[in-house]
């Protein structure tokens, strides 16, 4: 479930950066500039999976790790949190990403998007997507090539976003947080993804990075990143199992760690299993309880009621990790009916036992893949928020005959930690030599006569790798070879994922079995697949990289989305400026009003004149001034400030009080607030 961004500073900040910061009134910015000279690597774990308000902590939030002076540190966001929610909201005036979007979701549930990682790289018609769509309050439709498109209202207009674009918004947000922390722009990133992501999902994630205008240096499997975090200072020659259960995906990785050399032996998992599913089972159970208590009233089709219930279930789930029971209290959930229920840990475990057992079965499967006995595993490492569930821990411990589980690294932050190490390694940050050998989680191959799947690269093959195989014609006088590129583990190609089809034409006409071609599958360090075929007789050749899949976004679509991102970001910045200006004016009014009333040196007529200007501004602000039309807001703002400024100037020139000189200066600043805010933003962006 998480997506990790590890940013490595490849280029030093501009030489004039410090002088630019000096121009700002906030002298703390100079400290930030000095600090960036010592900072080398930042990693951020981005988790998009889980429904609104009921995702595991690791799947709903960002984790940020900074490597400074050879040590790892956790970065906080602007609100001093170590994490923030992965929710995206479109409104009448601007977008919200993170905590703000999550907290207003009940009021704007149709335009609040989450669980994007359960859509990225998938088809709308996939069974898992169809199941999830029923749980979500926002709309998802089928687009070109059966791509899922998320439908929202933004500034009064209907917008359709592919999952890659929503993901890019979150990546951009994290890059902005990193920039604010480091004091210079972020460009190079390491992205981690669930190990069980297939080729389409990996490529779609790469597209999201491109749309966010980021250079994705490497794609890393999440359990592998956790293995790096765990194995960095680990004793030599140990075999570890990474159990990564988060909000929306589940991965198992077995790795051999030896003095900084990390070799992944096997990976398996389920890209559609996690805390979200535990929550949904509880939601379904409580919907039935509500029916029983309220004359068969069904709230399953009420998005707002369902969202309230999902929020409550997510909180209850976290409580049940530390308490034997949790109380659920929801006011006015349906037709002014309140709902209360006390759910026990035992009931929660009963509702989800089949999923817990599935997790343990996957552990056994991963061991079988490499014919390893569980006694060979020296350490079992927990990663992901859902590993905090006591039943999951006890079942895993029982499977390994009572072995103590390793929780030395915060399970919510292990992936970000490992990603930062990998980014440091890539940026030559003098991190201890760490050699990483990852594997491909699913078999890759082609179709042969009879619709059978012929794997060229078996799953758990160490990457990078290249495999070749010779095929012959299946029919007499065949003039071309058809190559279907599939990914999966089923014997019939129809049950696996078709990544791409291509055709080698112009082969010599000959009886069946005479003409031959060499098919080559090559996977690079990022898990990106290139397929080539060569006619052995005349040397004709074709080559395709799976990132050219027609179902992926094309270059024009990506270019348009990059431009859209710039426009949306500008809208957000303008809205922020308007809100800050509005708040500043409110503060001035409150202070001015108080001083006017309390200052005995001000003449009654002067007080009356000031009050006559304050009242209409207060009415304007109290009427819930709309920020939708930024131009109109700024015009009205300037008019109000100008009138108040003139009144204060007149009173100041005739009054014996010294208070108004200060307000005259404050209003002078307020009248140019947009210019000041814009200059600050431009300086920080340069």
- What pLDDT does residue 162 have? 92
CA dihedral 87, 88, 90, 91 (to 10 degrees): 40
What contacts 24, CB < 8 A, 6 or more positions away? 680, 683
- What pLDDT does residue 37 have? 30
- What pLDDT does residue 627 have? 58
- What pLDDT does residue 655 have? 59
Q: Walk me through the domains of the chain, giving residue ranges and CATH numbers.
A: 2-9+39-271+373-431 (3.30.420.40), 275-352 (3.90.640.10), 442-550 (2.60.34.10), 556-685 (no CATH)
- What pLDDT does residue 426 have? 76
What contacts 682, CB < 8 A, 6 or more positions away? none
- What pLDDT does residue 573 have? 75
- What pLDDT does residue 554 have? 65
Q: Which of 131, 227, 178, 175 is nearest to 439 (CA)?
A: 227
- What pLDDT does residue 536 have? 83
- What pLDDT does residue 68 have? 44
CA 35/CA 26 separation, integer angstroms: 15
CA 172/CA 46 separation, integer angstroms: 11
Contact 404, 52 (CB under 8 A): no
Token reading at 648: 């204060």
- What pLDDT does residue 7 have? 36
- What pLDDT does residue 361 have? 95
Enumerate residue ranges in the chain where pLDDT < 70: 1-89, 91, 98-103, 105-106, 231-235, 260, 428-435, 546-555, 557-558, 598-601, 623-630, 650-686
- What pLDDT does residue 44 have? 36
């Amino acid at each position: 479930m998480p997506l990790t961004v590890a940013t490595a500073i490849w280029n030093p900040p501009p030489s004039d950066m410090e002088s630019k910061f000096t121009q700002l009134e906030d002298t703390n910015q100079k400290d930030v500039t000095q600090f960036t000279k010592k900072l080398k690597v930042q990693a951020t774990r981005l988790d998009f999976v889980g429904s609104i308000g009921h995702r595991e902590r690791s799947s709903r939030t960002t984790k940020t790790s900074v490597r400074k002076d050879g040590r790892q540190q956790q970065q906080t966001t602007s609100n001093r949190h170590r994490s923030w929610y992965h929710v995206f909201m479109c409104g009448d005036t601007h977008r919200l990403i993170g905590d703000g979007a999550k907290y207003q979701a009940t009021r704007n549930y149709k335009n609040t998007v989450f669980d994007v990682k359960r859509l990225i790289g998938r088809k709308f018609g996939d069974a898992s997507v169809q199941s999830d769509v029923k749980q979500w309050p926002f709309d998802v439709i089928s687009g070109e090539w059966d791509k899922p498109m998320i439908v929202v209202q933004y500034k009064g207009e209907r917008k359709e976003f592919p999952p890659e674009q929503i993901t890019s918004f979150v990546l951009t947000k994290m890059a902005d947080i990193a920039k604010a922390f480091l004091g210079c722009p972020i460009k190079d990133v390491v992205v981690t993804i669930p190990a069980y992501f297939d080729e389409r999902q990996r490529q779609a994630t790469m597209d999201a990075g491109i749309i966010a205008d980021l250079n994705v240096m490497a794609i890393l499997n999440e359990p592998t990143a956790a293995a790096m975090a765990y194995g960095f200072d680990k004793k030599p020659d140990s075999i570890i199992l990474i159990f990564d259960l988060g909000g929306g995906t589940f991965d198992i990785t077995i790795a051999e760690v030896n003095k900084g050399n990390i070799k992944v032996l096997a990976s398996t998992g389920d890209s559609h299993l996690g805390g979200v599913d535990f929550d949904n089972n509880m939601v379904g159970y409580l919907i039935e309880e509500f029916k029983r208590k309220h004359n068969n009233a069904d709230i399953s089709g009420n998005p707002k009621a369902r969202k309230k219930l999902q929020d409550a279930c997510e909180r209850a789930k976290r409580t049940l990790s530390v308490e034997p029971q949790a109380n659920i209290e929801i006011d006015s959930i349906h037709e002014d009916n309140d709902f209360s229920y006390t759910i026990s840990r035992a009931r929660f475990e009963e509702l989800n036992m089949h999923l817990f057992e599935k997790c343990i079965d996957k552990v056994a499967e991963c061991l079988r893949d490499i014919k390893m006995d569980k006694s060979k595993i020296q350490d079992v490492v927990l990663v992901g928020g859902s590993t905090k569930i006591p039943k999951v821990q006890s079942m895993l411990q029982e499977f390994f005959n009572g072995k103590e589980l390793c929780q030395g690294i915060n399970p919510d932050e292990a992936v970000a930690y490992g990603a930062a190490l990998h980014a440091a390694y890539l940026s030559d940050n003098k991190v201890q030599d760490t050699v990483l050998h990852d594997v491909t989680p699913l078999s890759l191959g082609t179709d042969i006569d009879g619709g059978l799947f012929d794997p060229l690269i078996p799953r758990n093959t160490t990457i990078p790798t290249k495999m070749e195989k010779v095929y012959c014609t299946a029919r007499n006088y065949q003039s071309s070879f058809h190559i279907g590129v599939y990914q999966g583990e089923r014997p019939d190609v129809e049950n696996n994922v078709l990544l791409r089809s291509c055709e080698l034409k112009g082969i010599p006409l000959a009886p069946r079995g005479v003409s031959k071609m060499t098919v080559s599958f090559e996977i690079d360090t990022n898990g990106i697949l290139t397929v080539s075929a060569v006619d052995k007789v005349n040397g004709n050749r074709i080559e395709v990289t799976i990132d050219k899949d027609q179902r992926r976004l094309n270059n024009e679509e990506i270019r348009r989305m990059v431009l859209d991102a710039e426009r949306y970001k500008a809208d957000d910045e303008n809205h922020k400026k308007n809100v800050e200006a509005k708040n500043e004016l409110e503060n001035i009014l409150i202070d001015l009003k108080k001083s006017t009333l309390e200052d005995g040196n001000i003449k009654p007529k002067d007080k009356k004149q000031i009050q006559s200007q304050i009242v209409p501004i207060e009415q304007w602000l109290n009427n819930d001034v709309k920020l939708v039309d930024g131009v109109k807001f700024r015009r009205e703002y300037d008019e109000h400030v100008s009138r108040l400024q003139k009144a204060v100037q007149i009173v100041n020139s005739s009054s014996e009080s010294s208070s108004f000189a200060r307000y005259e200066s404050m209003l002078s600043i307020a009248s140019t607030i947009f210019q000041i805010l814009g200059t600050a933003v431009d300086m920080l962006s340069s």
